[in-house]
Each structure stands twice: as C-alpha cells, then as structure tokens.
C-alpha cells in the first residue's frame, strides 16, 4: 500500500510538471494533436525517471540495513571480548597476589639485605655525582642507576656479581681518593670550546690541566671546564709543575672543600689581586700613587746627589788645596782667597759660604716632608668619600647583602692603605736623605770652626 501511495504522489508531481510545461509546449505545437502527443511523451519520460529513482531509493535502503546489521554484529563481538578480558584481568590479579606472596616467602631475610643494599646504592650514587673520580670512571654511575632500578622493581633480583661490584666501587672510591692520577678526558675551555686534554686528578680534591689551569667539575653533566678566573699567587705555578711531574714530591695548593664549588678555592679566586686592589682606590688612589712615585724619585735623586757630594767632600778633606767642585772646597776657597782677613770678618764670610751651600744640600727635603704628611690625608679623603658612596648605596638598595656592603667598605679603605704605604717609606727616606745632608753640613761647620781657630791663633802669635 505504501508503494501505491508513493506511486500516486510521483504521478501527481509529474502531472503538475506537465501542466506547468504546457504553455511552453503550446507555443511550440502547431495543432492540438501535436500538443497531445508531446504531453504523452513527457508523461512516459517522467514515469521512467520515477521508476529509476524508486530503484535507487530501494538499493540505498538495503545498503543501510546491511550496514546496521554489521554494526550490531560488531557490537556483540566487542561486548563478548570485553567480558573475556575482564575475566582474564581478574584471573591475573589473583595470580599476581599469589606470586607476590610466594616472592615474599622465598625472599625471607633477604628483604632486609636488599633494603640495605638499596640504601647503600643510593648513597653511593649521590657520592659519585659529586666526585671528580667519576670523570675517570663514568660507567660506574650507570651501573648504580641500573642496580637501583632493578631493586626498585619486583621482576628480577640483583646478582651476586652486582652485589660484589657495589663493594668494589666503594673500595675503589676510597683507594682513588688518595692517588694522584694523570689521564686524558674532554675539557671545556673558558671560551666554550671542547677538546680532549691531559689532566691531573689530585684525589677527590682538585683537578688541573697540563697547562697548570684549575678545572671545575660540573656534576650535572659530568664534564670538566676551565675556571673562568684562576687563583692568583704561586698556585698556578705549582699546578703547572705538578702537571709536568712524573714522580716524587711536588708542592700544590689543595682545596679541601672540594672542586664543585669549594669555599676555599672560591675565596682565592674572588680575592682581588694587588693590581685590582689598587684600581679600587679610584682617582684618589691614582693621585696618591703619583705622589708616592714622585717622592721615590726625589728621594733616590737626592741620595745619589748627596752620595756623590759626600765622596767629593771626603776627597777634599785629604787635599791641601781647595777644589770648587764640592761644597767644602768652595767654603775653603773663601779662606784661601782672604788669608789676611781678621777672624771676625773671616768667620762671617765662612758662615755666609755655608749658608749658600746649605740650600743646595737640603734641596727638596721639605717636599719629601710635605708628601709624607699629605699622603695619609689623601688616603683619609679617599676613605671618607668611598664610605659616603657605600652608605648612599645602602640607603638606596638596603643592607640585605652584607657581602656587597663589606666589598664597598673594603674598597674605600684601599686609599688609606695607599696613603700609609706612600707615607711610611717617604718618612724613612726623608730621614735618611736629611741625615746625609746634615752630615755634610756638619763637616762644613767642623772645618770652618777649625779654620777660624787656626786663623785666630796665627794672628794672635803675630
């Protein structure tokens, strides 16, 4: 019945199309018979097309039914498979519980042994990660990791060989910690370039390259890198000497706090050199240094001049004739040129000659005295200005970093040290130079007094 209704609907739709198309056919038809024939032909064509459409609809419906039946069969199969898997899972859980019970029963007292072994292996791994010996024996870390992974699971147990190797690695760590060994390994330079170099390991403390450079062990990557800043002083020379030594005793600076950020080596590296400390003095420090250099030049110049003058004066003392190339000779020349002069006038003349020679002998001594007095004041000035800058920084940034504050105060005190370093030797040199000048002036006074005495006795006898 459904099919008859569908057919009636299709015919009605075709009739509507035919009626709608009649005006167009009426225009082309030349008579009523011809028009009727055209309508009949269109009706037959519509019937044929409708039948073809019905066949396609029927075929599509059959395909859909087939697909639906296939989906239902697949659903039933998957439900059955799911039920089977659930049953298998429950059976496996029962088997696992039974196996675990059997494992625990068979292990017995070995459980405590494996617990200690796991704890020891964990401690050993942490030690290996921070030990520079791992650079020479990198495979031992992998062994410990594999052993811990095996003991953490329940699938297999460690073998006797693996347990014995744990003891062996512990023994090797203790043995190697007391040895100095030379071997080749990759090293990263300060510029970031990596290459194989010959290195020397000093126990578990430090490692240096064949060039005498201290190396840093990076535990995260298990590699070696050249320290960007090397310790100052004799340590570099000792390291190079040790790297070239094949036997015997050799001096070396060991960092007992270790190579992975040891505080002692870090303190040596962070300690500024003399040149860096000098630069910390800033402008005031440079001025003090220039003044000190000037004082040294003046002092040594005067020492040379006075030493030469002293030699000439001693030579003049041995001569009976006055020589004008020295101060004593020029004073004695006054007496030679005026042998008949009365004693009072001669004394005045000789005193005048000594007064003329004194400035030449005491030349620049007052400048040395001024430098010795001004240098500490300049140092104090630099310290005060440095302290002001430090306290201004504390006011702005706070005192949360004592290291930075101590560094600022330390830099401010450098100028005081420079001032004292300049003042102390300047005072000593001034004293020494002044003594040399006074010694020569004393000889002049002594000889002048003797000349006046002889001259007075000679006039008194006449």
- Mean per-residue pLDDT, 439-443: 89
Is the pLDDT assigned to residue 362 strictly greater than 80? yes
Largest CA distance in the chain: 196
Report d(CA 325, CA 312) in Å as an integer: 8
pLDDT score for 12: 42
What per-residue confidence (pLDDT) applies to 25? 44
Number of Cα atoms under 13 Å in the Cβ half of residue 390: 21
Give the number of other Cβ atoms within 10 Å of residue 165's Cβ: 17
Judge whether residue 238 has pLDDT over 70. Answer: yes
288 pLDDT more than 90: yes
**CA 431 – CA 236 distance, rounded (Å):** 41
Contacts of 295 (CB under 8 A, 6+ apart): 367, 368, 371, 372, 375, 422, 425, 426, 429
When mean pLDDT is compared across 65-79, 177-191, 236-250, 291-305, the lowest value belongs to 236-250
Residue 327 has pLDDT above 50, yes or no: yes
> Which pLDDT value is given to residue 248?
76
Rounded CA separation 5/3 (Å): 5
Report the alpha-carbon distance of residue 240 to residue 305 in Å, rounded.
46
Predicted local distance difference test score (pLDDT) of residue 428: 94
Q: Which long-range contacts (CB under 8 A, 24 or more apart) does 134-143 make?
A: 134/222, 135/185, 135/199, 135/201, 135/207, 135/217, 135/222, 135/223, 135/224, 136/176, 136/181, 136/183, 136/185, 136/201, 137/172, 138/222, 140/169, 141/222, 143/169
Mean pLDDT over each residue of the chain, to the nearest integer: 79
The CA–CA distances, whole Å, from 21 to 42, 49, 72, 79, 406 equal: 10, 17, 49, 59, 107
Number of C-beta neighbours around residue 93 at 10 A: 10
pLDDT at residue 21 in the model: 44
Q: Place 426 in a pLDDT band, splitting at 50, 70 and 90.
A: very high
Q: Is residue 293 pLDDT above 90, yes or no?
A: yes
Identify the band that residue 6 occupies on the pLDDT scale cut at 50, 70 and 90.
Answer: very low
Q: Percent of the chain scored above 70 by pLDDT?
A: 82
Q: pLDDT value at position 257?
A: 67
Does 316 have pLDDT greater than 60? Answer: yes
Give the Cα separation of 185 and 190 in Å (integer).
16
Tokens 């290195």, located at residue: 199
Residue 247 has pLDDT above 60, yes or no: yes
Residue 186, phi then psi, degrees to nearest 5? -65, 135
Over residues 392-403, mean pLDDT: 69
pLDDT of residue 26: 46
CB 135 within 8 A of CB 207: yes
At residue 440, does pLDDT exceed 70?
A: yes
Return the closest-CA partner of residue 433 out of 364, 350, 376: 364
CA gap 359, 320 in Å, rounded: 26
**Range in 130-139, 232-241, 265-274 with the lowest mean pLDDT:** 265-274
- Do 358 and 440 touch, CB atoms closer than 8 A? no
Can you tell me the distance from the alpha carbon of 387 to that of 238, in angstroms, rounded to the nearest whole number? 38
Q: Which residue has the higher pLDDT, 329 or 266?
A: 329
Stretch among 232-236, 308-312, 346-350, 428-432 having the lowest mean pLDDT:
232-236
Helix 402-461 to helix 365-397 angle, to the nearest 10 degrees?
Answer: 170
Average pLDDT of the segment spanning 295-313: 92
Residue 47 binned pLDDT confidence (cut-offs 50, 70, 90): confident
Q: What are the φ/ψ torsions at residue 131 (nearest 5 degrees)? A: -95, 135
C-alpha to C-alpha distance for 455 and 462, rounded to whole angstroms: 11
Confidence at residue 262, expressed as pLDDT on a 0 to 100 scale: 53
pLDDT band at 273 (very low <50, low <70, confident <90, very high): confident
Lowest mean pLDDT among 83-87, 124-128, 244-248: 244-248
Compute the C-alpha angle 263/265/270, nearest 5°: 90
pLDDT tops 90 at residue 49: no
For residues 92 and 364, give the distance between their C-alpha atoms in angstroms, rounded to a whole number.
107
pLDDT at 24 over 60: no
Answer with the residue of higher pLDDT: 455 or 1.
Answer: 455
Average confidence (pLDDT) over 27-38: 66
């Amino acid at each position: 019945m459904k099919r008859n209704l569908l057919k009636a609907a299709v015919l009605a739709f075709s009739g509507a199309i035919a009626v709608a198309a009649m005006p167009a056919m009426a225009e082309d038809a030349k008579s009523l018979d011809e028009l009727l024939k055209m309508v009949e032909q269109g009706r037959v064509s519509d019937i044929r097309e409708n039948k073809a459409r019905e066949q396609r609809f029927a075929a599509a419906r059959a395909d859909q039914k087939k697909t639906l039946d296939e989906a239902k069969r697949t659903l039933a199969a998957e439900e059955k498979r799911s039920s089977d898997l659930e049953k298998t899972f429950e059976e496996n859980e029962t088997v696992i519980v039974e196996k675990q019970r059997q494992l625990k029963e068979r292990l017995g007292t070995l459980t405590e042994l494996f617990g200690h072994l796991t704890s020891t292996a964990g401690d050993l791994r942490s030690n290996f990660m921070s030990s520079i010996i791992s650079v020479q024996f990198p495979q031992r870390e992998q062994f410990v990791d594999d052993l811990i992974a095996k003991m953490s699971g329940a699938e297999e147990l460690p073998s006797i060989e693996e347990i014995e190797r744990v003891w062996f690695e512990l023994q090797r760590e203790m043995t190697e910690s007391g040895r100095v060994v030379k071997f080749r390994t990759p090293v990263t330079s300060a510029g970031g370039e990596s290459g194989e170099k010959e290195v020397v390991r000093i126990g578990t403390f430090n490692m240096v390259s064949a060039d005498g450079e201290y190396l840093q062990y990076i535990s995260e990557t298990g590699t070696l890198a050249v320290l960007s800043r090397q310790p100052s002083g004799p340590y570099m020379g000792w390291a190079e000497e040790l790297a070239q030594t094949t036997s015997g005793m050799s001096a070396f600076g060991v960092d007992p706090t270790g190579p992975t950020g040891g505080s002692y080596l870090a303190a040596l590296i962070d300690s500024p050199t003399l040149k860096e400390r000098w630069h910390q003095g800033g402008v005031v420090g440079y001025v003090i240094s220039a003044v000190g250099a000037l004082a040294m030049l003046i002092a040594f110049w005067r020492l040379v001049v006075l030493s030469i003058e002293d030699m000439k004066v001693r030579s003049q003392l041995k001569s009976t004739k006055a020589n004008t190339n020295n101060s004593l000779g020029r004073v004695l020349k006054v007496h030679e040129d005026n042998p008949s002069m009365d004693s009072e006038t001669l004394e005045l003349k000789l005193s005048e000659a000594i007064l003329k020679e004194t400035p030449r002998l005491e030349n620049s001594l007052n400048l040395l005295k001024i430098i010795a007095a001004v240098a500490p004041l300049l140092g104090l000035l630099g310290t005060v200005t440095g302290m002001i800058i430090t306290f201004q920084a504390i006011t702005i940034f706070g005192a949360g970093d004592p290291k930075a504050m101590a560094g600022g105060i330390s830099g401010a005190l450098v100028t005081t040290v420079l001032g004292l370093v300049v003042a102390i030797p300047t005072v000593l040199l001034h004293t020494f130079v002044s003594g040399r000048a006074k010694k020569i002036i004393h000889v002049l006074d002594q000889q002048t007094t003797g000349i006046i005495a002889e001259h007075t006795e000679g006039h008194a006898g006449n």
